[in-house]
Structure 1
Amino acid sequence: MSDQSQQQLAHELKTNLPHFTGDCERFRHALNRHVIYTPGVQYLAQTAGAWWLVDAIASHIGSAAFQRAVRTDPRIQDLHFWRLDVSDDDSALLTARADSDLPAFITQQIPFTDFPLPAIDIWVGYDGQYFTVYLPSEH
């Protein structure tokens, strides 16, 4: 993708993502059936070609590292915060935290991405049945 296309896509995402402010519609993740996501996350994944990001988050939920973190800090079961930070060399770091001032309980290096934004925050809440992946604006 050209730099101009990347910039246009980044502008589109920055403009449209804040308009997702909550919705009752949910989509079930194909691989982790305990994970659902909102229209805002679906828009992000479709528009940015970032289904891999949704898959990465869903793959960590319920993993051994996730379960260890829940045993250490039970708040993680109910709510946790993911962040993707993209570097200038097109690598990225995906992290999950119990809170912004705490160390990450999951860290995943992404060797290459064409994700158009320098960073994105995604939150995950648990309702007793499903982990809902959503944008902060959808809280």
Structure 2
Amino acid sequence: MKKPDEITADLKQFIGSDIIYKHWLGIGFTEGVKYLADTAEAYWLIDAIASHQTQTFLSNTKLQYFQIWHLLVKGKSGTLICEWDTDKEILRQELEYTDFSLSSIKLYLVQRVLMLPNEY
């Protein structure tokens, strides 16, 4: 497995995406997110974000088009946060255990496609 600083550096190379992968819960994700999931063994993160795309959650029209997702890791636990705008928290999920190798990651969900900020 790559070191966290190597993964972070590699993620910067993804700008836009020619391929959109389909998740079984109905969202898509970009090549950069696929690289993150493959390299950091974090398909669970895509699963977690996709699982929150329920009818109740999407009844908020602002969330239908744009969501900001943060994963913050401290030790072996983490917090997954969704915002609809900077500092406008909608959801917070505490994770008792995670082996995610980065201390944090930010992802955007734009019109049901999950992407790295530099792919937006």
Whole-angstrom distance in 2 between the partners of 1:19 and 1:62: 32
- Report the structure, 1 or 2, having the larger helix content: 1
Whole-angstrom distance in 2 between the partners of 1:17 and 1:67: 28
Whole-angstrom distance in 2 between the partners of 1:111 and 1:137: 29
Q: Highest Rg: 1 or 2?
A: 1
Whole-angstrom distance in 1 between the partners of 2:58 and 2:84: 13
Amino acid at match of 1:100: T
| Identity over aligned pairs, percent | 33
C-alpha RMSD of matched pairs (Å): 1.4
Runs of 4 or more, structure 1, over 6 Å off, are none
Give the number of aligned pairs. Answer: 120
Structure 1's unaligned 5+ residue stretches are none
**Residue in 1 that maps onto 2:104:** 119
TM-score (normalised: structure 1): 0.81
Whole-angstrom distance in 2 between the partners of 1:26 and 1:67: 21
TM-score (normalised: structure 2): 0.93
**Residue in 2 that maps onto 1:17:** 11
**Residue in 2 that maps onto 1:78:** 65
SS at match of 2:3: helix
- Deviation at residue 63 of structure 1 after TM alignment: 4.8
